Amino acid sequence: MRIVVTFLFFCIFSFAVKAQVLRINGCVTDIKTKEVLIGATISNNEASFGVVTNSYGFFSFEHPKGNVQLLCSYLGYETVVIDLCLTKDTTINIQLSPIILEISSVEIIANKSNTRMDKGLGIITVPISTIKNRPKLFGESDLMKSLQFIPGVQQTAEGKSNLTIRGGSPDQNLILLDDIPIYNADHAFGFLSVFNTEALKNVTLYKSGYPARFGGRLSSVIDINTKDGNKEALAGSATLGLLAGSVNFEGPIVKDRTSFFFSARRSLIDLYLMGLQEQANADDFETNRTNFSFSDINAKIHHKISDKTSIYTMLYNGRDKLMNRTGNNDISINQDDIPDRNGNSVLNNIPNQKISNSISEQDWKWGNTIYAIRLNSAVRSNMFLNTTVSYNKYQYETTVDNSFANDSVNVIDALNYSSGVNDYSISLNCEYTPSNKHFLRSGLQFIYHDFFPEILLLHSSGNEATTPNTQPSQKVLSREYSFYIEDIWSISKKLKANIGTRFSLFNVDGIMYNAFDPRLSLRYMLTNKLSIVADYTHMEQYIHMLSNNSLLLQTDLWMSSTSSIKPMRARQLSLGVNQTITSQLTFSFASYYKNMNNVIEYKDGASFSGTSSGWEEKVESGIGRAYGAEFSLEKNLGKTTGTLSYTLSKTEKKFNKINSGDWFPSKYDRRHNINLLVMHKLNSKIDFTLNWVYSSGNMITIPVNSVVTPDIPYYPGKFDELTQLENRNNYRMPAFHRLDVGINYTRKKTKNKGGIWNFSIYNIYNQKNAFKLYEEVDVSRNDVGKLVYTKKLKQVTLFPIIPSISHTYKF
């Protein structure tokens, strides 16, 4: 009874307090396009409190009755001052105008405002303008390459868009496109990401301090939002570069009510590459053809049902294709020249002869498809609901056909490999602001996973076709449930916390895994210019990825946790400080320690071939750890801006049956990493960008001995190489460094029309960085005339100095 009385007392007291304050809510948009602005800051003139807009531009806070002056600011936009006389709950819609020439004091106000959503050191928002202005490879701006200049973020290899973040592998990054996971983020062998920068609105990277609303990966969250479309007028752009071309259109279907956005990008090199190869091989007996292409589409329709309710439909489709054809005519062979999969001749008792036609064809296809419908509503002045239903598909397919034929024999050997995953998902998320001290989020999500690897083998010998030998698809169906709750709590003017937890269940093959993931982030203001941040994060990952890395092509196999392969788990502790040295200069330091459980690695001698059949027997589960320190000096105001950063890190793994059970470095263990970015705006038309990177080399395994054996499944005429290993990842590749420069020239014909020319030079001093190392045997004679065989490491370098040009026309 005493508990009930106490509860009623606090309820009545809270309502009495609330009666003395009023609520202000609304939305912040771009004045020209009506595009909502994510992360805009609204504060009072004394900067005693502040809030920021959510992913849909919505905000809500309390304020006492009477007069109030509000400031609304957003990076790259003019600050708006709003005077109100509060007599009742008020809804205001704020429109901001872009700054044309340079960034003003907006950022200073935003940094000083005492917002409940102040970001920790591990949370970085990357301006889209910065991504577009960086030097470009083949004329293409790239989101993932821009993230590589953030401390703790590194590329997996030169030119690659894959990221390793604080010691994690690329599959441990949760990449969200409008809240939907992307399984494959690569175009063009990984040298370009799948994200068209013209379609992007906001990008936020989480290296630590992950809010409880995110889950399913161990190492990072990359949260990407795309444009909703211009609600005022038809607009667009077209971009032409050396590698690809793109078009973008947006505009109102019903003015101020319904809008659309559409962007399409396609590679161009495949349109003329085949023709050039045909001319080059016109007189040769050997016919070699290699071609690749990629494309992606982003589309969205946004309809405002009312001033408080909106519905969105979204489509993404990305595709890559790689083709290789090799043909030989009139080639003399012996009967032993064509072995079958067991190493025996397929031309038994046939005398030496000529093959009239020999053709080898390889095709690779991969890509993502996403469909989503989203409904959100401000159901109350302090409550926002969002419901999303989505379908997400990733598929990878390889086809290999080898044929040898003449008048008396026909030999065909074919391999078709396909793998992928289908996700069917529904989620419900709620944001609630009971007071200025608390901002609550909670939500539910259900995902139905459908994993499908498959191998199909067709083999015929002589002129009698055999029955196709098929390894049936081993579908793995799983269901994932999750619930989270988090509170951004302004404990005092100096101390703020993000406290939350995430609970998840994963059902596969009759087994139910569960996880309880607590999250805690604290920020304490020691002075107005010095803050300390501490984070603790617990993450769970129920899916695994196995990769087979060739020179250019990376083959990815996504698989579910099973009864024998448990979910991966990670705990990360991070501590850092942030110091505002001057109004333009900021220094930050962060240290972290992360341990990982149930990470997987191929066993010694295991390979990707036939992985869908018994892949669990080819991998070993173990533990990992990563720790390091990150330093950053940033200047973010004025005509010249930039960042200088240094990362010192170490990443190790340990498996009972690998490397004699001892710790060994991860292949992504890059001890030192230095990044320099300088951007200078010469005038309203010309800006200059320079970036330089230095990094320790990746770790690779060099065998001490090797033996060639004629036994590789389903691939005639090829051979496996058995290697003798002493230590896993026992050799560090040479250090990597590169300098890129770029110039942007903007020419405006009218207020809304104009063009942007980009001139970039990649690797300006032509550094020969090692993309891959391989062993080669040199043969020589010693002093007494005997042959001496010496193994030497050779390196493959992909990118010399590469100038590029691109043009974007906007209307």
CB neighbour list of residue 785: distance below 8 Å, 6 or more residues apart: none
Q: Which amino acid is at 492?
A: S
Q: Which of 727, 719, 738, 728 is nearest to 798 (CA)?
A: 738
Q: Which of 377, 378, 384, 371 is nearest to 300 (CA)?
A: 371
Write down the pLDDT at residue 102. 44
Q: Which of 37, 53, 41, 206 is nearest to 112 (CA)?
A: 41
Q: Is 257 exposed, middle or buried (0-12, 13-18, 19+ CB in 10 A)?
A: middle
CA dist 85 → 45, 51, 63, 91 (Å): 14, 19, 11, 13
Local structure of residue 407 (DSSP, 8 states): S
* Average confidence (pLDDT) per 10 residues, the chain, 811 residues: 44 46 88 88 76 88 86 87 86 85 39 44 85 85 89 83 89 94 84 89 92 93 93 91 91 91 90 64 60 91 92 94 72 49 48 59 87 93 93 87 65 73 95 91 95 63 52 78 95 92 94 94 92 94 78 68 91 94 90 94 68 69 95 88 93 90 91 93 89 91 64 46 69 91 85 85 91 77 74 81 90 86
Q: Which of 188, 193, 151, 136 is nearest to 170 (CA)?
A: 193
Using alpha carbons only, give the angle 777, 780, 782 rounded to the nearest 5 degrees: 135
Paired residues of 372 in beta bridges: 314, 390
Write down the pLDDT at residue 559. 86
Per DSSP, which regions of 146-243 are E strands?
Answer: 153-155, 163-165, 173-177, 180-181, 186-187, 192-193, 200-206, 220-226, 235-240
- Judge contact between 484 and 501, C-beta under 8 A: yes
CB neighbour list of residue 207: distance below 8 Å, 6 or more residues apart: 122, 123, 124, 150, 152, 153, 165, 166, 220, 574
Write down the pLDDT at residue 188. 76
For the chain, helix, strand, coil in percent to 5 are 10, 60, 35
CA dist 564 → 509, 511, 617, 621, 804 (Å): 11, 10, 9, 9, 50
- Return the SS3 of 130: helix
Q: Using H for helix, E for strand and C for coil, what is the string for 435-467?
A: ECCEEEEEEEEEEEEEECCEEEEEEEECCEECC
Paired residues of 83 in beta bridges: 69
CB neighbour list of residue 802: distance below 8 Å, 6 or more residues apart: 137, 138, 761, 762, 763
CA dist 232 → 57, 161, 258, 558 (Å): 17, 35, 10, 43
Q: How far apart are CA 61 and CA 42, in angstroms?
A: 9
Local structure of residue 614 (DSSP, 8 states): S
Write down the pLDDT at residue 288. 67
- Judge contact between 533 and 576, C-beta under 8 A: yes
- Alpha-helical (H) ranges within 287-395 are none
Q: How many other C-beta atoms are found inside a 10 Å radius of the C-beta of residue 292?
A: 19
Write down the pLDDT at residue 326. 73
Local structure of residue 89 (DSSP, 8 states): -
- Judge contact between 93 and 77, C-beta under 8 A: no
Q: Is 760 exposed, middle or buried (0-12, 13-18, 19+ CB in 10 A)?
A: buried
pTM assigned to the model: 0.86
Q: Which of 333, 318, 466 is nearest to 396 (CA)?
A: 318
Sorted by where each starts, the structural domains of the chain and their CATH numbers stand as: 2-115 (2.60.40.1120), 128-810 (2.40.170.20)
- Judge contact between 382 and 60, C-beta under 8 A: yes
Q: Using H for helix, E for strand and C for coil, what is the string for 664-720?
A: EECCCCCCEEEEEEEEEECCCCEEEEEEEEEECCCEECCCCEEEEECCCCCCCCCCE
